[in-house]
Amino acid sequence: MTSDPISVLIWNENVDETRKPEVRAVYPDGIHGALAKAFERDGRFAVKTATMDEEECGLSEDALVGCDVLMWWSHHAHEAVPDTIVERVRRHVLDGMGLIVLHSAFMSKIFKALMGTSCELKWRNAGEKERLWVVAPGHPIVEGLGERIELAQEEMYGEPFDVPPPDELVFVSWFQGGEVFRSGCCYRRGRGRVFYFRPGHGTYPTYWNPQVQTTLRNAALWAARRAARIDGPPTRFGQHAPLEPLG
Amino acid sequence: MTSDPISVLIWNENVDETRKPEVRAVYPDGIHGALAKAFERDGRFAVKTATMDEEECGLSEDALVGCDVLMWWSHHAHEAVPDTIVERVRRHVLDGMGLIVLHSAFMSKIFKALMGTSCELKWRNAGEKERLWVVAPGHPIVEGLGERIELAQEEMYGEPFDVPPPDELVFVSWFQGGEVFRSGCCYRRGRGRVFYFRPGHGTYPTYWNPQVQTTLRNAALWAARRAARIDGPPTRFGQHAPLEPLG
Amino acid sequence: MTSDPISVLIWNENVDETRKPEVRAVYPDGIHGALAKAFERDGRFAVKTATMDEEECGLSEDALVGCDVLMWWSHHAHEAVPDTIVERVRRHVLDGMGLIVLHSAFMSKIFKALMGTSCELKWRNAGEKERLWVVAPGHPIVEGLGERIELAQEEMYGEPFDVPPPDELVFVSWFQGGEVFRSGCCYRRGRGRVFYFRPGHGTYPTYWNPQVQTTLRNAALWAARRAARIDGPPTRFGQHAPLEPLG
Amino acid sequence: MTSDPISVLIWNENVDETRKPEVRAVYPDGIHGALAKAFERDGRFAVKTATMDEEECGLSEDALVGCDVLMWWSHHAHEAVPDTIVERVRRHVLDGMGLIVLHSAFMSKIFKALMGTSCELKWRNAGEKERLWVVAPGHPIVEGLGERIELAQEEMYGEPFDVPPPDELVFVSWFQGGEVFRSGCCYRRGRGRVFYFRPGHGTYPTYWNPQVQTTLRNAALWAARRAARIDGPPTRFGQHAPLEPLG
- Domain architecture of chain B: domains with CATH: 6-117+185-229 (3.40.50.880)
Asked whether the beta carbons of C164 and C215 are under 8 A apart, the reply is: no
A128 Cβ under 8 Å from any chain B Cβ: no
Chain-chain contact of A146 with C221 (C-beta, under 8 angstroms)? no
C91 part of contact set with chain A, CB < 8 Å = no
Can you tell me the distance from the alpha carbon of C72 to that of C67, in angstroms, rounded to the nearest whole number?
13
> In angstroms, rounded to a whole number, what is the distance separating the alpha carbons of residues C97 and C70?
7
Tell me the CA end-to-end span of chain A in Å, nearest whole number: 37
pTM of structure: 0.95
Interchain proximity D135–C159, CB inside 8 Å: yes
Check if the beta carbon of residue A170 is closer than 8 Å to that of residue A142.
yes
Asked if the Cβ–Cβ distance from D246 to A178 is below 8 Å, we say yes
* Cα(A134)–Cα(C212) distance, integer angstroms: 35
What does the pLDDT look like over C22-31, one tens digit per residue? 999 999 999 9
Neighbours of chain C (3+ CB pairs under 8 A): A, B, D
At position B233, the amino acid (one-letter code) is P
Q: Is residue D86 classed exposed, middle or buried when 0-12, 13-18 and 19+ CB atoms within 10 A define those classes? A: buried
CB contact under 8 A, D144 and B231: yes
State whether residue B237 is helix, strand or coil: coil
- Each residue of B6-26: pLDDT tens digit? 999 999 999 999 999 999 999
Shortest Cα distance, chain C CAs vs residue D205, angstroms: 21
Residue B245 has pLDDT above 90, yes or no: no
Mutation for testing the B interface, residue in D188, D189, D217 having most B CBs under 10 Å:
D188
Burial class from Cβ neighbours inside 10 Å (0-12, 13-18, 19+) for residue B33 reads: middle
Q: What is the C-alpha separation between A198 and A173, in angstroms, rounded? A: 9
State pLDDT tens for residues D184-229.
Answer: 999 999 999 999 999 999 999 999 999 999 999 999 999 999 754 4
What was the pLDDT predicted at C235? 41
What's the DSSP call for residue A142?
A: G
Prediction ipTM score:
0.93
Q: Do C237 and B190 touch (CB under 8 A)?
A: no
**What is the average per-residue pLDDT within C59-76?**
97
Average pLDDT, chain C: 92
**pLDDT tens-digit readout, A26-57:** 999 999 999 999 999 999 999 999 999 999 99
Residue A26 parent element (H or E): helix A21-26
Asked if A168 reaches chain B (Cβ–Cβ under 8 Å), the answer is yes
The predicted structure's pLDDT at residue A226: 77
Determine the residue of chain A that is closest to B139 in CA distance: A165
Residue D236 clears pLDDT 90, i.e. is over it: no
User: Quick check: B123 contacting C, CB < 8 Å?
Assistant: yes
Q: What residues of A are in contact with residue C191 (Cβ under 8 Å)?
A: 137-138
Q: Which of D67, D76, D102 is nearest to D183 (CA)?
A: D102
Work out the average pLDDT over D112-137.
96
- The pLDDT of residue D237 is 43
What is the pLDDT at residue A4? 86
Chain B touched by C114 (CB under 8 Å)? yes
How far apart are the CA of A75 and the nearest CA of chain B, in angstroms? 24
| Subunit contact B131:A174, Cβ cutoff 8 A | no
Any CB–CB contact under 8 A between A128 and chain C? no
Neighbour tally for C169: CB within 10 Å: 21
**Mean pLDDT across chain D, nearest whole number?**
92
pLDDT score, position D230: 38
The whole-angstrom distance between residue A106's C-alpha and the CA centroid of its chain comes to: 10
Residue D189, SS3 per DSSP: strand
Find the CB nearest B189 among C116, C238, C239. Answer: C116
Residue D5 has pLDDT above 60, yes or no: yes
Whole-number Å distance between alpha carbons of B112 and C188: 16
Q: How many beta carbons lie within 10 A of that of residue C4, not counting itself?
A: 8
Q: Which residues of B touch C179 (CB under 8 A)?
A: 241
Q: CB distance from C125 to chain B under 8 Å?
A: no
Q: What does chain A come to in residues? A: 247
Among the listed residues B110, B111, B4, B8, the one whose alpha carbon sits nearest the alpha carbon of residue B68? B8
Give me the pLDDT at residue B241, please: 59
Question: C128-164, pLDDT tens digit by residue?
Answer: 999 999 999 999 999 999 999 999 999 999 999 999 9
- Tell me how close the Cα of A42 comes to any Cα of chain C, in angstroms: 12
In single-letter form, the type of residue at position B141 comes to I
Q: Does A178 touch chain C (CB under 8 A)?
A: no
Chains contacting chain A through 3 or more C-beta pairs under 8 A: B, C, D
* Closest chain B residue by Cα to residue C190: B162
Lowest mean pLDDT across B85-89, B105-109, C229-233: C229-233
Residue C230 confidence class, pLDDT cut points 50, 70, 90 = very low
> Nearest-CA distance from B29 to chain D in Å?
30
Answer whether C189 touches B (CB < 8 Å). yes
Q: What is the pLDDT of residue B4?
A: 86
Which residues of D are less than 8 Å from B226 in CB distance? 138, 140, 143
Q: Name which of D135, D161, D180 is nearest C174 (Cβ-Cβ).
A: D180
With an 8 Å Cβ cutoff, is C128 touching chain D? no
| Confidence label for B79 from pLDDT (cuts 50, 70 and 90) | very high
* Arithmetic mean of pLDDT over chain B: 92
**At CB < 8 A and 24+ separation, what contacts does C60-67 make?**
C61/C88, C63/C9, C64/C9, C64/C88, C64/C89, C64/C92, C64/C97, C65/C92, C66/C7, C67/C7, C67/C8, C67/C9, C67/C92, C67/C97, C67/C225
Is the pLDDT assigned to residue B116 strictly greater than 50? yes
Q: What pLDDT is attached to residue C236?
A: 41
Ranges of residues in chain A whose predicted pLDDT is under 50? 1-2, 228-239, 245-247
Measure the CA–CA gap between C115 and C165, rounded to whole angstroms.
Answer: 10
Distance CA D224, CA D6 (A): 7
Strand partners, A151: A130
Q: How confident is the model at residue D4 (pLDDT cuts 50, 70, 90)?
A: confident
Length of chain C: 247
pLDDT at residue A14, as a whole number: 96
Q: Return the pLDDT at D11.
A: 98
State whether A244 and D178 contact (CB < 8 Å).
yes
Residue of A nearest to C176 (CA): A246
pLDDT of residue A15: 95
Within a 13 Å sphere around the CA of D25, how many CA atoms are in the beta-carbon half? 5
Report the chain A residue with the minimal C-alpha distance to residue D94: A117
